[in-house]
Each structure stands twice: as C-alpha cells, then as structure tokens.
Amino acid sequence: MQLTGKSKAALIIGLLPAFLIYTVFAIYPIIQSFYYSFMEWDGFSEMEFIGLQNFENLFQDPLFWNSVGNNIFVVIASVFGQIPIALFIALLLNRKIKGLKIFRTIGFLPVVLSTVVISLTWSLIYNTKDGMINEILRAVGLDFLAQNWLGDTKWSMVAVCITVIWQFVGLYLIIFLAALQNIPEEVMEAAKMDGASEWVTTWKITIPMIWDTIIVAIILCISGSLRTFDLIYVMTHGGPSHSTDVMALYMFNETFSNLQYGYGSAISVFIFFFSLILIGIVKKVLGQKFI
Amino acid sequence: METTIKKTTQSALPLPQSTRKLSVKNTLIYAVLIIFSVINVYPIIWMIINSFKSEKEFAVNQFGLPRTLVIDNYIEAWGTANLGILFKNSIFICLLATILTVLIGALASYFLARIEFKLKNALYTFFIFGMLIPIHATLVPMFILLKNLGLLNNPITLLFPYIAFHLPITIFILTSFMKAFPKDIEESAIIDGCGIFRIFWSIILPMSRPALATVIILNFIYNWNEFSFALVLLNDPALQTLPLGLASFAGQFTVNYGAQMAGLTMSMIPIIIFYLFLEKEIVNGMTAGAVKG
C-alpha cells in the first residue's frame, strides 16, 4: 500500500512503540557495554577512563580463558551429543512407526520445561548421597562408580553437559522429523526400486536431502550452547574451583560479586563478538562445503 | 528380489526369513525408542513420585511407589517457597509482557509488511538484528540502565527486557506471515473508506490468527521460563518470578529433598498440562522460534 501525506503520522504511531522499546532496551545496552568496557568502575563511585586496559587484563586472565575453554567444551558436547542423537531417533521415527505421536510428545517434553526446573531436578539426580544415579549404581553393585558428580572437578563438566544434551535433544528431534517428513515419497520409492539398501539410502539420499536443516540445527545448537548460563548458575555456580565456569557466568560473577563493572562489560563485549564471529565462521565453513 | 524369493522357498521356518529379519529389526528399533523415551521422561516421573515420600522413605525406597502419600512436602514447599506469590508474579509478568509484545510487534509488522515507505528494509533489518544479540552481554548495562531509570525491583521491571528482546522474533514471524496476503485486501477496504488502523485491526489482525497463536505461545513460554534478567533485576522476594524463587528456595533448603521436589513438581505441572493440551501449537511455535531465531 502506498502512503498518502496524512498517513505518515499513522506510520510513526505504528512503528514508534516497537522502535523505542527495542532501541532503548536491546540496542542501547549493547552500546553501553562498549562504553563501560573502557572504564574502571565499581558501579557506585566515579567512572575512570582507562582505555583498553580491561581488555589487556582480560586477555591475560587465566580464569577468563578457563571459562572460554569450558564454554567451547559445552558447545562441542552439545553439537556432538544433541545433533547425532536427535538425527538418529528422528530417522527411526520416520519409518511409519506405531506410537509415533507418543514418542514425539515425550521427546519434546524437556524443551518446554524451564531451565531452572531442569537444573534443580538434575542436581537431585546427581546428588552424592541419595541421587538417582548413585542409587542405581549401588543397586546393581557398582558402588565404586558412585561419584560426587557435581562436586568433583573430574566429573562436574561432564555431568553438566549431559543435562544440557538431555534438555535440547527433543528440539532438534522435532526439527529433523519435520524435515524428513518433507522429503517427497517418490524419492524414497525410486531408491527402493533401484535396490538401494536402507543404509545406503539413508547416507546417500536422506541425509543429503535434509542437509540444510542439519546446518541450521548445528548453528542453532552452537549459538544456544554458547549462551549457557542459567543451567550452570543453578547447578554448580561455576564450581567446583571454576571447573564449570563459562563466559557469561564469569562475567556475572566479576560484575556483581567482585563489583568490576568495567571489567564485566569488557567480557560482555567479548561474548558479543565471539558469538557473532563463531556463528559467521560456522555458516561459512558448513555452507560452502556442502551446499 | 530374486535372492529373497529363493531364500524363502528354501527356508523351512514358519516365517519367511525376510519377515523374521524385519521383525528383529523392528524390535530393536522399538527398544531404542523406548530407552530414549525412558531417559527423557523418567527424571521427571522419578521426581514427581518421590515428592510424595517422607524423607525417611526416600532414603530407603527411591524407585518404588510411595507406601503412603505424604503431602507434608507440598505444604512445606507452598509455605516456605511462597509458591503462591511466585505463581502470581510469573502469571502477571508473562501475560502482560506477552500481550504487549504481540500487540506492539503486530502493529510494527503490519507497517513493515504491508506499507511502502523509505527505510522500510533498513528498519526491518535493524529489528531482526536483535535475534543475534546474546542477552547475557546486556545484563550489566540493563541493570545500570534500569537502576538509573529507577525501575529496579518494580513489579513491571521485567517488562522492558522481555518486550525488547522478544520483539525481533515476533516481528520476524508476523512480518513474513503478513507479507503473504494478496495485495488487493487493503485496496478494497480503502475504497470502503477504512482508515489505516481500522484495516489493521479488523482485517490484517484476524487474518494473522495462526501466526499470532505461534508468537503468543512462544512469548509466553520464553517469559515463563526466563531466569537471567529476573536474577539480575529483581532482589525483592515479593517480586520474584517462579524460576528465580525456585532457585533461591533450593539454595536455602538443600537438605530437604522432599519439599524441593514438591515445589518443582508444582511449578512443572501447569506447563506440562498446557503442553499436553496445546502440543501441536507449542511444538510449532517453539521450533519456528528456534529455526528462525
């Protein structure tokens, strides 16, 4: 529709609320983050401009790099845990299985639950004394395998990652299932007629046909797990001794516990660019190779 | 084909071999699917069942059904965790944020999808960019901004980040839906003398119902489950939302597993019921939100 002079006012009225609230509360904070990252500030007293000092300190901070490393660990565990499991189950469900609906309902259930509820539930499951996992191990006579899953630096990261994987497998399962059901029946029929085995059909036809979806899922999985915060905050608070610290959590603690607003903002800026660049790289690499 | 026929004729077994092979395979497939489902749902069932056991029984009989139904855990959880207040706060903020986001977003989407003006594409890109912002990078400046505006620890504090960060996905879904309507819709309405907002309210909005359902569900679930902003922006217990309240409740009473499980069960049940009734819409909404976001 073309606008007449009179309806210019309507245009402004229509777009202004969204523009204002989005600019002030989503864009402006990001810009502020950049500004504060050049300051030394405890949140109360006067700010002091210190240039790139925060970033210099950041790049020499072993605890920060520890959190970056842990974050990458979560990303890798998510991509290599969630995507293959989800794809495998989706392929099994795509065979005109009886009870498909029930399997799908159960599969997606964890996705709708809040991260806090999931984290607290799994904290109970991992509990040393009465947790489900240790109880099962004791019941089958494997007492010696019982661990303090979240309290032992050897296991904490693995335990956290299992929960992360559990939480989101269902999302990718549904995404893959939808893509699989979009493959035209004739394609599959033709493959069968040619005598291709199921194994070959899956690898040579099914997977390539949903490859775009797989890439979208991988990108989603990376950006989602890069943002892990709630789950670890509730389950371990980054401990024991920083073994599960991730970037957002380290930023949170530096800012609000150690009152280093400038330093925390520098971490925020780092997270912002790190996310954009990583996703850019993944898009480029996966996209060019296979499409 | 030939080989299978040969095999079946040679086979002395009652079942043709290919069918037998198939049924073994099917059994395996079902076994895998059932194991997957058990892993997916058992943690939740385990917790619900154990929330009805006394502390003593939980220690000795963790995997059986409760011998007697103990509701003490529920009474304690409801009382000490202030679940009533948490529910009230969560429902209030979720409903208000969802309604406002969808209204403001739908209005903006209408102009972005249906009306020609300069900077239209730039503005659209500007909104969509928001989907790339990692929200944790904004926690600190958001805290400072709301503090400066005197809006910390206010019943409506969370409205601002919730609306701002869910507008991009809302606008994205609604705009792509509204773009698909045929062009002559508004033209006939204009001839009938309808104003621009009238067209929005009585033609475009009703036509967008499926997409509106998607964004309403999406917004509601995101807001209902949101934790980080609530954690940073609210510290008055009377204003806490359900996820925040549960997290601090669990922190206080790490020893009393029963009450903790009862609290978790109560907070989980409404969303599970909601899910079972609206499964199709919720699944569609959340996968659309994920794939497009």
DSSP codes, A82-135: HHHHHHHHHHHHTTT-TTHHHHHHHHHHHHHS-HHHHHHHHHHHH-TTT-HHHH
Among A2, A17, A230, whose Cβ lies nearest the Cβ of B227? A230
- Report the C-alpha gap between A224 and A82 in whole angstroms: 12
Whether A136 maps to a domain, the answer reads yes
Instruction: Give the domain extent around A97.
Output: 37-290
Query: Is A125 touching B (CB cutoff 8 A)?
Result: yes
- Report the C-alpha gap between B128 and B131 in whole angstroms: 6
The letter for the amino acid at B190 is I
- Report the C-alpha gap between B290 and A168 in whole angstroms: 11
| pLDDT band with cut points at 50, 70 and 90 for residue B193 | confident
- Total beta-carbon pairs less than 8 A apart between chain A and chain B: 261
Q: What is the tally of structural domains in chain A?
A: 1
Has residue A108 got a pLDDT over 90? yes
Whether A9 maps to a domain, the answer reads no
Better-predicted residue by pLDDT, A154 or B18: A154
**Stretch A246-263: mean pLDDT:** 90
The helix-helix angle for A156-181 and A211-226 (nearest 10°) equals 150
Whether A239 maps to a domain, the answer reads yes
Q: Above pLDDT 90, what percent of chain B?
A: 40
Has residue B153 got a pLDDT over 50? yes
Residue environment code for B194-224, b if the CB has 16+ CB neighbours within 10 A, otherwise e: bebeebbeebbbeebeebbebbbbbbbbbbb
Query: Is A285 touching B (CB cutoff 8 A)?
Result: no
Query: Is A215 touching B (CB cutoff 8 A)?
Result: no
The model's pLDDT over A231-251, given as tens digits with 9 standing for 90+, comes to 999 999 887 888 999 999 999
Has residue B253 got a pLDDT over 70? no
Whether A28 maps to a domain, the answer reads no
Contacts of A125 in chain B (CB under 8 A): 43, 46
At residue B15, the pLDDT reads: 53
Contacts of B187 in chain A (CB under 8 A): 1
Locate the DSSP E strands across chain A: 39-40, 48-49
Contacts of A82 in chain B (CB under 8 A): none
Task: Identify which of B238, B228, B221 has the alpha carbon closest to the alpha carbon of residue B293.
Answer: B221
- Report the C-alpha gap between A282 and A34 in whole angstroms: 25
- Report the C-alpha gap between B253 and B240 in whole angstroms: 17
Has residue B192 got a pLDDT over 80? no
Query: Is A140 touching B (CB cutoff 8 A)?
Result: no
User: What ipTM is given for this predicted complex?
Assistant: 0.88
How does the average pLDDT of chain A come out, rounded?
Answer: 88
Q: What angle do CA A217, B210, A94 make, to 5 degrees?
A: 40
Give CA B97 to chain center in angstroms. Answer: 14
**Stretch A155-163: mean pLDDT:** 93
The helix-helix angle for A156-181 and A100-112 (nearest 10°) equals 130
Q: Above pLDDT 70, what percent of chain A?
A: 96
| pLDDT band with cut points at 50, 70 and 90 for residue B6 | very low
Among A33, A104, A279, whose Cβ lies nearest the Cβ of B137? A33
* Residue B237: cis peptide before it, omega within 30 degrees of 0: no
Has residue B7 got a pLDDT over 50? no
The letter for the amino acid at A283 is K
Has residue A61 got a pLDDT over 60? yes
Contacts of A276 in chain B (CB under 8 A): 132
| pLDDT band with cut points at 50, 70 and 90 for residue B10 | very low
Whether A26 maps to a domain, the answer reads no
Cross-chain Cβ contact B29/A32 below 8 Å: no
Among B104, B165, B268, whose Cβ lies nearest the Cβ of A117? B268
Query: Is A107 touching B (CB cutoff 8 A)?
Result: yes
**Stretch A177-196: mean pLDDT:** 84
Better-predicted residue by pLDDT, B67 or B177: B177
Both structure tokens of A245 = 């610290």
**Stretch B26-51: mean pLDDT:** 91
The model's pLDDT over B96-139, given as tens digits with 9 standing for 90+, comes to 999 999 999 999 999 999 888 888 899 999 999 888 888 888 89
Among B224, B231, B261, whose Cβ lies nearest the Cβ of A124? B261
Chain A residue nearest residue B171, CA to CA? A18
Residue B124: which residues within 8 A CB-CB, separation 6 or more? B112, B171, B175
Phi first, then psi, for residue A48 (nearest 5°) are -130, 130
Better-predicted residue by pLDDT, A8 or A225: A225
- Report the C-alpha gap between A286 and A211 in whole angstroms: 10
CB atoms under 10 Å from CB of A281, counted, come to 11
DSSP reduced 3-state for B115: coil
Residue environment code for B107-134, b if the CB has 16+ CB neighbours within 10 A, otherwise e: bbbbbbbbbeeeeeeebbeebbebbebb
Task: Identify which of B106, B219, B87 has the alpha carbon closest to the alpha carbon of residue B159.
Answer: B219
Residue environment code for B174-191, b if the CB has 16+ CB neighbours within 10 A, otherwise e: bbebbeeeeeeebeebee
Handedness of CA B228, B234, B239, B244 (dihedral sign): positive
CB distance B58 to B50 below 8 Å: yes
Whether A17 maps to a domain, the answer reads no
Q: What angle do CA B17, B21, B27 make, to 5 degrees?
A: 145
- Report the C-alpha gap between B85 and B91 in whole angstroms: 10
Whether A75 maps to a domain, the answer reads yes
Handedness of CA B181, B186, B187, B192 (dihedral sign): positive
For testing contact with chain B, the best of A12, A31, A38, A109 (most B CBs within 10 A): A109
Whether A12 maps to a domain, the answer reads no
How does the average pLDDT of chain B come out, rounded?
Answer: 85
Both structure tokens of A26 = 């989503």
At residue B9, the pLDDT reads: 42
Has residue B13 got a pLDDT over 60? no
Question: Domain containing A274 — which CATH number?
Answer: 1.10.3720.10
Chain B residue nearest residue A194, CA to CA? B1
For testing contact with chain A, the best of B28, B30, B36 (most A CBs within 10 A): B36
Residue environment code for B43-80, b if the CB has 16+ CB neighbours within 10 A, otherwise e: bbebbbbbbbbeeebbeeebeeeeeeebeebbebbbee
Q: What is the DSSP letter of B137?
A: G
User: Look-up: residue for tokens 């209902």?
Assistant: B224
DSSP reduced 3-state for A40: strand
Task: Identify which of B137, B130, B134 has the alpha carbon closest to the alpha carbon of residue A37.
Answer: B137
